[in-house]
Structure formats: structure tokens, C-alpha cells
Copies of this chain bind each other. A is one copy, B any other.
Amino acid sequence: MRIEKSVKCIDCPLKCDIYLTAREMGMEEFLEPAYVYYKKYETICRQGSKIKNATILIQGNAKMFVSGHCSRNIILNILIPSNYIGLISVYGLPDYPYSVSALEDCHTCQIDNEALEQIYLKNEHFMKLLNHAFGSSVANIMDKLISLNQKQIRGRVAESLLYLSRLYDSNSFKLSITRRELGELSAISEENTVRALTELRNEEIISIDGRNIVLKDTDTLARISMNC
């Protein structure tokens, strides 16, 4: 982790929940934020290492993934601005159960865990906010578990495309990830990912131009994603 004084790093725009809450409580000073800048490909946090602070992604995209002993990674989520990293320490996990790395240059704001926990404990509204975010992430992982075990390639790729479209809030988006990573998001090989994309394009369900993807028929895509 490097604090790049030379790089003009974007300040936390004070609209994130942690800041709003701290301000309300008059604890703004208490947070002592560090603004940290990561270059593309840099690791923001590493699976298995101690969680020392909560990180808010201010600008750029990142991937959250888990890695096994050998074999390839599974991408759990693509993180976009305003997403948190490391909240799980509030729930008693001392170490990161996942890694996060920058898909493009990223600006982050990092605040000490202790400070975060104080606010969590003192502010019921904030506590519920975090609890709910954490609860729904559990539901997401369970969905992933099922889809990983029961859906086949087409279904998994369709699911990933719908996920990205929801994330970027548009049927037309530019991939921030490589084909290999799209495979890791669906937990399949790069080659089979490409084959599935080609198939869906030939069936005119999507259109592809390099990293630019348009979902032309989301209903059919949703049907493919649901099929087991």
C-alpha cells in the first residue's frame, strides 16, 4: 500500500455513509482518512492478510476474488465507486477472506478499523446499514454457489452479462475485464467463455465489438441464465 503524495488523489466526496454518519455524530475528525492511489493491476488487499482498515473505492473499478491452492481464481464481484472493502472485520474476521485488485487506476479512502467500529457500535442506523449490506452479500454468495454447481456455461455467462449490465445500469457497456476474467467471474475457462459469447452473438441475443457489449435481448438472456 503506497500513499502517493505526488499523484493528485481524489478526496472522499463526503457523501459516503461512513462520513455522513461520522459528521452527524460530530466524529468527523476522528476518522483521519488516508487517500491512497493504486495503479492498474495493483493489489488493494490480499487474501489471508490482516485487515487494518476499511477502504472506500472512490474512483475506478476493481475485482474482488478468492483463490484456491492451485488452479484459477473466482471473481466474486466487480467493485465500483462507493463500494467498501474490508467491512467484514466488523464481523470478527481478522483476515481478508478475499483479494481485491485494481482493474484500472483507482482512488481509495482508507479509515482505521477501530474508528469504523466505534461508529458502528454507537450509531444504530449505521449499524443496520452495514448489517444489511453484509446480509445481502451472504445471499449473493449463496446464489453464486448454486449457479456454479448447477448452471452450465451458457447460463453462467448469461448470468455474468446480466450482472454487469445491472452493475453499470445499462444494456450497453464497456467491459473493464478481460475474457479470462469474465471466465473467472463465471468460474469457467477463458476458451469456453469466448465460445459462449460467440454463440450468443450468432443468435443475435447480444452484440460484441471488442470490449463493448450490448445486450439486445435481455429476456432471452434471463431465460438462458435461469435454465439448468
| A68 with B149, Cβ < 8 A, contacts A97-B139, A142-B98 known | yes
Contact A136 B93 (CB under 8 A): yes
Which of chain B's residues have a CB closer than 8 A to the CB of A90?
Answer: 131
Cβ-based interface call for A18 (8 A): no
Q: Among the listed B69, B137, B149, which residue makes an inter-chain contact with A148, where contact means beta carbons less than 8 Å apart?
A: B149
Interface size (A, Cβ < 8 Å)? 39
Contact B71 A150 (CB under 8 A): yes
Which of chain B's residues have a CB closer than 8 A to the CB of A228?
Answer: 68-71
Which of chain B's residues have a CB closer than 8 A to the CB of A70?
Answer: 150, 228
Which of chain B's residues have a CB closer than 8 A to the CB of A147?
Answer: 68
Cβ-based interface call for A25 (8 A): no
- In the bound complex, how far is the Cα of B139 from the Cα of A115, in angstroms? 24
Which of chain B's residues have a CB closer than 8 A to the CB of A93?
Answer: 135-136, 138-139
- In the bound complex, how far is the Cα of B193 from the Cα of A193, in angstroms? 29
- Copies, count: 2
| A226 with B69, Cβ < 8 A, contacts A97-B142, A134-B91 known | yes
Which of chain B's residues have a CB closer than 8 A to the CB of A88?
Answer: 135, 138
Within 8 A of B (CB), among A98-157: 98, 121, 124, 128, 131-132, 134-139, 141-142, 144-151
Which of chain B's residues have a CB closer than 8 A to the CB of A149?
Answer: 68, 71, 74, 148, 187
Which of chain B's residues have a CB closer than 8 A to the CB of A210?
Answer: none
CB distance from A123 to the nearest CB of B (A): 12
Cβ-based interface call for A9 (8 A): no
Contact string, A152-190, partner B, CB cutoff 8 A, digits 1/0? 000000000000000000000000000000000001000
Contact B138 A138 (CB under 8 A): yes
Which residues of chain A have a CB within 8 Å of any CB of chain B? 66-71, 74, 88, 90-93, 97-98, 121, 124, 128, 131-132, 134-139, 141-142, 144-151, 187, 226-228
9 residue pairs, one from A and one from B, having the closest CB atoms: A91-B135, A92-B132, A68-B150, A70-B228, A92-B135, A71-B150, A68-B146, A91-B131, A93-B135
